[in-house]
Chain A
Amino acid sequence: MAGSPEAAEEAEQGPEPSAGGTVRRGKRAAPRAAAPQAAKLSRAELYKPPTSEELNQLKETEDLFHSSLLRLQIEELLKEVTLKETKKKKIDAFLHEINSLLSAIPETPETELTDQAWLSKDVKVPFLQVPFNVKGRFHFVPPAELKVVGSYLLGTCIRPEINVDIAVTMPREIFQDKDNLNQRYHRKRALYLSHIAQHLSKEKLFGSVKFAYMNSNHLKPILLLRPQGKDEKMVTVRLHACPDSGLFKPSRFYPSKNNIRTAWFMEQSTPKEGTTEPPTPHYNNSILCDTVMLSHLHFLSNAATDFPGMKDGLALLKVWLNQRQLSKGLGCFSGFLVSMLVAYLLMKRKIVKMMSGYQVLRSTLQFLATTDLSVTGISLAKDADPSLPALDDFHQAFEVVFVDPSGLVNLCADMTASKYHQVQFEAKRSMEILDDRMVDGFQVLLMTPKPMLKTFDHVFHLKHVSKLQGTCKKMQLLNELMDRGGNYVAVALPFVVSLLARGLSRRAQLVAHSLPQIPEWPIDAEPPKHKDVGPVTFGLLFVPEFAASTLEKGPQADHPEALEFRTFWGEKSELRRFQDGSICEAVVWEASTVYQKRLISEQIVRHLLKLHADIPESSICYAGALLDSVISTGKEEQGTGEEAMVSVVCSYDDLSRKLWSLKELPLTVTAVQGVHPALRYTDVFPPIPMKPIYSFHTKSKHLLLPSEEKPCPAYITPLKIICHMEGSGQWPQDKGAIKRIKAAFHLQLAELLQQQHQLVCRPAVTYTDVYKDGYVFRLQVAYHREPLILKEVVTPEGMLKYQDTEESQQLELETLHLPYLTSSLHGLQQQHPVFGSTSRLAKRWISAQLLSDSISEECVDLLVAFLFLHPAPFTPPSSPQVGFLRFLNLLATFDWKNNPLIVNLNTGLTDSDCTEIKNKFVAARSRLPVMFLATPKDQCSSMWTRERPSAQILQRLVLLASESLRALEEQLMDPLSEQDVKMVFRPPLDIYDVLIHLNPNQIPRHLESVDRPAKSVSRGVVKNSSAMNILFPVVDYDPVQLYLQELRDAFDDLALFFYDKHGGEVIAVLWKPSSFQPQPFKVSNMKGRKVTTLNNELVCIPNVEAILEDFEILGEGLVKNVEARMEKWTI
């Protein structure tokens, strides 16, 4: 074993083309070419004496990071997001030029604030001047000082959005006394920026000059400058105008002080006598923010010196926040805020300067997870100055409190309590993930985006935010409106959210809202209005146990709280007498089916918003269960089939009890196990009890047959059940004999069930069909030693060996693994009530995309189970819709080539098992199925994906999933345009070569199609679950499936056939490109081909014309027409 190639790899630039080397160099050329392979280190390398440096590194990795992998991953991520040195130089040069330009801007003469004629027409003041009239005079004087502040200087800004903040200090002479009042300061600031904008817009240096609101706070416009040319995307310089320090007396801006006069705001000439002016904390805070910019910079740079981990940690935290959509918009948890938080933790010695970036991330998350800033605020002010406002004062004025070092500014002024709770929730969840060794924390926390749609169980939109004006009026929020400068969205939002949070307190663990965001605008456009924030989105995360309860129990009628309860719920509240004798206020929501119960929260939201916030129902777009209609048959009120599923399971339980207690059987029944998907709640359309109409069928002796004249009878699914018989010496030990004995059992079971329980049965060789409660169960007898007997091989030496054969594997799958899977998933359904519906949606989608025959049902069930068992970074889905979205996301983003998907059913796998599965997977990748699923009982063979899907199908599936996900997200997040969400359930047919259109009369499941047929034909059954003593109905007769089977048998090597088994009207055919190549004549390769001469050579080509006619011949009576798209292929 020579060590040379490995050594070369170590050096990372060895001349020999070692495997690792090519991987690294192949980064751009062929990123997908290299398959994973086990790392190898020669013996000499492994056991050489360690250097002290190496020991140190190993130890550090162990101490400061979770594992070496995490350390490497974090280093790679940091490399991706940090700013490159070369870029930095360019930016510095750009900043220099801005600096010189700014100081060269000329002065203007002094005018009234309201007289803005001096400003050129090309620039509009970036401020909503309502009311317009205000006292004060303004003139422009070049800035007193320019200073870069914020993350760029600290080196904590991260790509892709590089912002450089420049504080432009406005000279003292611009201001007069009382500029603190009535938005005068803000308007001067805006005018100051517009004058700068007017001048800079003429410069060639800039690619764009635009305005924006700082964190979408419309009181704080800023000027955005971007360089010319291809560097435009590189950097955004943001100019903040700020006052000279010491201009304002801080005590004027304490949270309890007023700086906006009611009379001015309401445009009344004289103030009302005797009223006290309300405090304006948000307004005060917005001015104070500007005064402390420079001191914040000093504070942070002090914290960051000698602390390399802080830079890394902040970069990680910012990525973390960005992925959770928390760092943009009004009241966001911005990068600046998180820097201050880290500085706070440093001050409190929760973080020390020794720590690595990973530890900074951890400690910060830990702090966030355990501290509720909306109850116990924190302050960075060092020594308690008694003159400064106390934390309590801040708590009264703001929902979330985090006071800056000066003791005056609340850094979280705009944040709602709900937003902070969301941050807290995320932090908690993230800590759990970091501590869980089974998940790849890095991938899940830092690399996975968490948009609202995929995070929350239900999402709804407030379509027209202008309706919130009415809310402000209804809730009497005039003072707050004044404080926020008329921004009714910002004013109403906290109230609306807390209203919902109270109404849903038991059902939802989190009620969150999207952050209002206003995009930047060109300087010659009017500034955006409050309503321009677009729809506001709310997200609900349910507590699965209570989310669907129909009762809201209130206090007892004679308690004082009863009145409050009644006012909160309005007319919905009524007195009810409960079983324990108490008489309480209570609200009962109408919902009979599981589907309706899932939507109780919608009723609550609509009711409360109407009652308390004056928001009409038409303004609410509730996207909680828009997709559920594709898995419901028949009318809306019948729900989505959960009830049908329960009744199937009940009937099955009853049958299995009957089987156990069957008398006169020679051997007893030891176990009865269901294997049909309906018995694990994942059948797309659960069977419905049916009774056949005799006149519709051809009658035979004691059963019914389909009739040629009538449409095809309704499809009755046989529900397969495995019936294990007791092991005994009586069983023969020969495969032929076992088969006969089993057949004898089937006969006998039928006879005994008929005699003892009056059930109508139809025995066959390999099963017995039992008609019970309107369902048909298919009993199959199993003997536990049969697979073993099938496997027996005797070697020439006379030794008995067991070898897997196709037959034994099939039998094992049916009688051993499938029952186990079914019972495991049945258990999962008990823990997560929406598992079944999610899986059904997923299967419905796959089938609608015509791929249901290309991937096994069990495989889809397991994929969905994965979403529930390993939800990180999300929580287990509590609505089918969000589960389905995540299913699509899983399909689209999982790296099937390099990773096994481990589904830890019943938590049967430990950490080390998982590592072993991964190692084995890497070692044997090329021999394993393209989609590899590992479960506790099936760790290295992936039995459910062994044959299906093929690589091409998987690729198509991934493509379809990502396209569907994109379309669906767009539709669900855009409440204003009316789009049909069923779009993703309609397959694109343009890629197929031939379409075989079917006659709807002969499609037994036509009613299950996505777009339900307008008129349906009678299918010879009526709903009835109590029929006894009938002629046995037609079972498992689906002409389309029989047709497909014949097609596949005949043309398997020429074409692929795709069909939506749930009522599809078309079979799509795709020729296999390889089979259209002319091939030399071979006896074994003549199926459906003809011989012709090509370039004087005899070759075989497919006899396409004859095959197209065969399609019609084989499907006589079923096929309507065959649409061949001749232009698509050439021979």
Chain B
Amino acid sequence: MAAATGSAAGAAPAGYTALAVKFAKRQCSPHCLLVKEHQVREGADAAHPPHRTLFVLNVPPYCGPDSLSRLFSRCGHVQSVDICDKRGSGEKKDKLMSKFFDQKTLKGFQVAYVVFKKPAAVQAAKALSQEGPLLISTESHPVKTGISKWITSYEASIVDPKELKAEVDAYMQDYDKKMAEEEAKAAKEEGVPDEEGWVKVTRKGRKPGLPRTEAANLRVLEKEKQKRARKELLNFYAWQHREVKREHIAQLRKKFEEDKQRIALMRAERKFRPY
């Protein structure tokens, strides 16, 4: 079934169909979108139901969700368009998005999931390969690029202080409420043994325990070590004295050896030619 049948977009790998797509009429070399029916195990991907989802590869940077939905709308009613970085990364995106925070803009070439109302539209979309290249920007629906796009996005980057303030306030209220609840819960559990009789020690209690952090652990170990070192007598026995001397010579030797190696390396790189 593989290679597409003599379409403008050229060959396509097994399972895919190549669709030629151009920015506007003016351009002469099209990009090729690779589309195929989205396949997942039953129920794994609720947002993109199988049979009526089209998986689109190699979506050019100037082709947004609106353009895609317009391009495919002639095959059938488009329910939603999801554009993401790479395959599969669109799944956990259904969290609530804020207008101001944690915004991620997608850049460059992307993949897209086009969800149709009816499964038939998927096949219709595949059939588009027989036609001429699709146009992303048409006279009725121009897509902004370059200067005009940047001016628009500059305009969009300006924040309305009131709106922002309202959002922040709302979030903080939520947050404060959540914290208060947690605190209340912690206060209730304070000093109360659980069913096995264990009492949880927290920072809040009368006897706050050592904080359970890595740094604190290391600090304790270090202190132990110092304590032990302080008790040791270094210059007591004759053998200790001898050992120090031996150590000194060993150090000198080690250094000498290191130096020799460095020199050998430098010589290899001819570093001793003065001019």
Contact = CB atoms under 8 A, between A and B. Distances in A.
Interface residues of A, number: 103
A1091 B159 contact: no
Interface of B: 2-3, 9-13, 18, 23, 27-32, 34, 57-58, 60-62, 86-87, 100-101, 107-109, 111, 145-151, 154-155, 157-159, 161, 164-165, 168-169, 171-172, 175, 179, 211-215, 217, 246, 249-250, 252-275
A1039 interface: yes
A1086 B258 CA distance: 50
Interface string A36-58: 11110100011100100001001
A233 B104 CA distance: 68
A447 B87 contact: no
A76 B266 contact: yes
Nearest to A81: B274
A301 interface: no
A107 interface: no
Nearest to A705: B155
Given A700-B158, A1002-B147, A802 B214 contact: yes
Contact of A800 (B149, B165, B211): B211
B146 A706 contact: no
A1089 B30 CA distance: 11
A737 B263 contact: no
A765 B32 CA distance: 39
B61 A747 contact: no
A252 interface: no
Interface string A1056-1097: 000000000000000000000000010110111111110000
Given A69-B259, A802-B214, A1092-B10, A1087 B154 contact: no
27 contacts: A34-B268, A36-B262, A36-B265, A41-B253, A41-B257, A46-B250, A46-B253, A58-B249, A68-B252, A77-B274, A80-B273, A160-B275, A705-B154, A744-B172, A747-B165, A800-B214, A801-B214, A1002-B147, A1052-B108, A1087-B109, A1088-B109, A1091-B10, A1098-B11, A1098-B13, A1110-B60, A1113-B23, A1114-B62
A1116 interface: yes
A898 B259 contact: no
Contacts of A1093: 3, 11
A752 to B, nearest CB: 13
B189 to A, nearest CB: 16
Contact of B164 (A34, A45, A76, A743): A743
A1028 interface: no
A763 B147 contact: no
B32 A1091 contact: yes
A1011 to B, nearest CB: 25
A747 B212 contact: no
B147 A1116 contact: yes
A79 B274 CA distance: 11
Given A39-B257, A41-B254, A76-B272, A1086 B264 contact: no
Contacts of B32: 1090-1091, 1103
Contact of A765 (B100, B261, B267): B100
Interface stretch (A25-33, A165-173, A257-265, A562-570): A25-33
B202 to A, nearest CB: 12
B172 A737 contact: yes
Contacts of B155: 700, 705
A50 B249 contact: yes
A916 interface: no
A1093 B214 CA distance: 57
A23 B172 contact: no
Contacts of B9: 1090
Interface in A919-953: none
A1121 interface: no
A802 B60 contact: no
A451 to B, nearest CB: 11
A736 interface: yes
A855 interface: no
A32 B269 contact: yes
B101 A736 contact: yes
A1049 B60 CA distance: 11
Contacts of A45: 253
A708 B265 contact: no
Q: Which of A39, A762, A898, A1039 has the most CB of B within 10 A?
A: A39
A763 B151 contact: no
A1042 interface: yes
A798 B212 contact: yes
A288 interface: no
B21 to A, nearest CB: 9
B264 A800 contact: no
Given A737-B172, A1046-B107, A58 B150 contact: no
Contact of A1117 (B146, B262, B270, B273): B146
Contact of A740 (B27, B30, B168): B168
B268 A24 contact: yes
Given A67-B259, A79-B272, 19 more contacts: A20-B261, A24-B268, A27-B268, A38-B258, A39-B258, A68-B256, A747-B161, A762-B158, A765-B101, A1034-B154, A1037-B150, A1049-B108, A1089-B58, A1090-B9, A1091-B18, A1105-B29, A1109-B29, A1115-B146, A1117-B146
A1039 B148 CA distance: 10
Contacts of A79: 272
B109 A1050 contact: yes
A220 B36 CA distance: 92
A195 to B, nearest CB: 36
Contacts of A67: 259
B264 A20 contact: yes
A66 to B, nearest CB: 12
Given A39-B254, A1050-B107, A708 B263 contact: no
Nearest to B153: A1042
Interface in A861-918: 895, 898
Top 3 A-B pairs ranked by shortest CB distance?
A1116-B146, A1049-B107, A1117-B147
B213 A34 contact: no
Given A740-B171, A1039-B150, A1110-B60, A799 B212 contact: yes
Contact of A446 (B2, B108, B274): B274
A1106 interface: yes
A296 interface: no
A382 to B, nearest CB: 36
Given A41-B254, A802-B215, A1091-B12, A69 B168 contact: no
A1049 B106 CA distance: 9
Given A80-B273, A706-B154, A1106 B13 contact: no
A72 interface: yes
Nearest to B12: A1091
A34 B108 contact: no
B260 A39 contact: yes
Contacts of B57: 1083, 1086
Nearest to B99: A765
A846 to B, nearest CB: 26
A208 interface: no
A739 interface: yes
